[in-house]
Structure 1
């Protein structure tokens, strides 16, 4: 007898997503991996979102749980609250946005990679996305990253959108131990904690879903000159420094979850942010933190000089 297929807990967080939600749900129904359970959490929608969720029934053996009420503090808090709920069960756990369209083999591809990792090791799969406009027309792909995933990179940036992520039970237990922390984004926090604890991150250069771009995106497209200019303006205004501080506060509160080497790296990163210029430069060299792209690495040097990290 062949072993049962792993059960994937799909964590769907919604807020006024009725315009595109049905298409996303239909893409879930088309998954070639049939065994999954949908856990929806709504953050107070005033449109048709709730009625769509309550009336929808998937094809095949998939299960849909009743819609629960989110904490009402934004998408990151909603996702982490759902992930940390004790009654959310599965062998693997996937974040799902309300307005994407998943490729039919999204879960199957991720599971193929993750099941090769020892179950005791926290492991996370993430991938690129293709961008589509409000009419479903393809308009590009997310940046291709070539440097390896690592805590030294995660301190600076996130490499995978939460909508692409699938984690094993060991990674979920790690996030459960940290609890629903106050961070900028649930996906960046997931990347930080899994790498910080010595887990494995698998980055797939092949897109696994269509990421819809429209005026109500919680997080927009990272492609193009406009996106780079927005990031640069945010950097000059100190936005990134505020993001880092929230992440670091959550890491400090969960320092026991990090490996000894990554605790040292975290201390160097703190020096990189707070020391006088010679100390910042020394901490940058000692820490080994890095960005994924040449422009990002140049931005790191500039941020170090200007004390904007």
Structure 2
């Protein structure tokens, strides 16, 4: 059994040393770390090269001549991995010492699974836990409250993607399925991978917090209880509406949902054009669901408040937003 790590870096000098150390001191040894750097201008490359000296033949560094962006950079890193299991890694988190061991045991007990994701702690720029909330709270995956077995595919498509790439491990057999990963605005590599595998009912998860996920800079200042509550309310509103459990009760809610539905329509419509032939998910079908919901919200807006509906549409037209061809 050979184990790989696909790590993407970009100006990560502040935290990458801690991440490397956490990966290299696992209770089960990693065989290779494939690092794809997207044009760092700080000391990131120097730090990586120092680790290469300390751990010869373990770390492979690929420096991009042009900036690829996060999804295409992870595509490159994954494609260069040779392991039977591929762990995705950000540059600024910290792995718990038994992360690899726990995940490999999960695969051994559940051999039909093609990928697994986990929960995590939240830490700040000083590597300190600053909240009792978990990574799943941050991504609105209320696992303990959901009916089992959880329909992971429906959750990702209709509520929110809760699969954080930094916790994800893949079997090598699915590389051909998930690659290439298209470069679509706000449709990142982890969601792309999660949708493909969840559709096949081969996505698993561990409730244990196996990484410390770092929230720093603007991220940390944005993670407040009020923001979390507002986002949670938005995702709950969307999922209840699209699954037929509830209807928006105000012009504001209709308008909010219309914006969300249109963004998702465009995202999945674009994905339907970018997905290679034979990709298992029908993104066009998902896009049409969101388009239908967008139109229903627009009808509700028009009926509830024609005056605001007129001026919202006029404003959208002037700004070129939410215009259907």
Instruction: State the TM-score, normalized to the length of structure 1.
Output: 0.73
Pick closer, same or farther for the CA change 1:239–1:78 going to 2, 3 Å: farther
Counterpart residue number, 2:121: 130
> Structure 1 residue 203: deviation in Å?
1.6
Counterpart residue number, 1:214: 216
Structure ID, larger Rg: 2
Q: Does 2:78 correspond to 1:93?
A: no
Pick closer, same or farther for the CA change 1:58–1:113 going to 2, 3 Å: farther
Q: Secondary structure at the match of 1:46?
A: coil
Q: Superposed, which structure 2 residues align to 1:240-255 within 5 Å?
A: 241-243=262-264, 245-251=266-272, 253-254=275-276
Pick closer, same or farther for the CA change 1:244–1:277 going to 2, 3 Å: closer
Q: Superposed, which structure 2 residues align to 1:258-273 within 5 Å?
A: 258=280, 263=282, 269-273=286-290
**One of 181, 195, 199 as aligned partner of 1:192:** 195
Counterpart residue number, 1:172: 175
**One of 246, 256, 275 as aligned partner of 2:278:** 256
Higher helix share: 2
Instruction: State the TM-score, normalized to the length of structure 2.
Output: 0.70
> Structure 1 residue 70: deviation in Å?
6.9
Deviations 1:217-260 (A, max 9, x none): 6x9987732234367599569367435533443245346332xx
> Structure 1 residue 82: deviation in Å?
2.1
Q: Secondary structure at the match of 1:206?
A: strand
Q: Does 2:184 correspond to 1:163?
A: no
CA distance in 1 between partners of 2:289 and 2:276 (Å)? 20
> Structure 1 residue 185: deviation in Å?
1.1
When the two chains are superposed, the root-mean-square deviation of aligned CA atoms in Å is: 3.4
Q: Secondary structure at the match of 1:225?
A: helix
CA distance in 1 between partners of 2:221 and 2:71 (Å)? 15
CA distance in 2 between partners of 1:70 and 1:79 (Å)? 15
CA distance in 1 between partners of 2:15 and 2:128 (Å)? 14
Deviations 1:37-84 (A, max 9, x none): 10001111111100000111487897111333275142222112322x
Counterpart residue number, 1:115: 108
CA distance in 1 between partners of 2:13 and 2:261 (Å)? 32
CA distance in 2 between partners of 1:76 and 1:159 (Å)? 17
Pick closer, same or farther for the CA change 1:240–1:223 going to 2, 3 Å: farther
Pick closer, same or farther for the CA change 1:137–1:126 going to 2, 3 Å: same
Give the paired residue count. 264
> Structure 1 residue 171: deviation in Å?
2.4
Q: Secondary structure at the match of 1:137?
A: coil
Gaps of 5+ in 2: 235-252, 301-321
Gaps of 5+ in 1: 1-5, 282-306
Deviations 1:83-127 (A, max 9, x none): 2x3x43110111100000100111111111123344xx5611101
CA distance in 1 between partners of 2:45 and 2:54 (Å)? 19
